[in-house]
Amino acid sequence: MVLFDVPVTKVFFYCDDKGRVPVLNWLEKLRQEDRKAYAKCVVRIRRLAEEGNKLRRPEADYLRDGVHELRAKSGRVNYRVLYFFHGRNVAVLVHALTKGAEVPAVEIERAIERKTYYENDPHGHTYEEEL
């Protein structure tokens, strides 16, 4: 019998030049406002760590230009965490939002901009924290 070692995806948070971690800040605020929604978002992040690029709808979806979204819903409110893959086994959470029907183009552009900053200086834009 042959056993295959399934790689686990390492999940990092994007950190800007001033040391701010947008997704972590968003999650902290969400935890204070709606613990149930916060818990659902954390589950999605953990699923990303488990499944990596195999994660699909309804939990995740591809948006464009290398940016994906984690999808969570609590009641009638949709929560999205935007991320990209860096190499095969690293996912970087770059932006998060509460949204209506679609992720606004300006939010995707913000994620693409952060992706570019990260790719130019991964060490300078990486923040790691266990959820």
Amino acid (one-letter) located at 104: P
- The tens digit of pLDDT for each residue in 74-93 reads 989 999 999 999 998 999 99
Stretch 60-76: mean pLDDT: 96
Domain assignment present for 129: no
Domain that holds residue 66: 10-122
Burial class, 21, CB count within 10 angstroms (exposed 0-12 / middle 13-18 / buried 19+): buried
Domain assignment present for 40: yes
Tell me what pLDDT residue 1 has: 47
CATH, residue 110: 3.30.2310
Domain assignment present for 89: yes
Q: Total structural domains in the chain?
A: 1
Domain assignment present for 4: no
Say if strands 60-64 and 77-85 run parallel, antiparallel, or are unpaired.
unpaired
Question: Which residues are 109's β-sheet partners?
Answer: none
- The tens digit of pLDDT for each residue in 84-129 reads 999 989 999 999 999 777 899 999 999 999 999 999 999 999 998 7
Tell me what pLDDT residue 28 has: 97
Domain assignment present for 68: yes
Domain assignment present for 85: yes
Place of tokens 């130019």: 120
Domain assignment present for 128: no
- The tens digit of pLDDT for each residue in 12-42 reads 999 999 999 999 999 999 999 999 999 999 9
Burial class, 35, CB count within 10 angstroms (exposed 0-12 / middle 13-18 / buried 19+): exposed
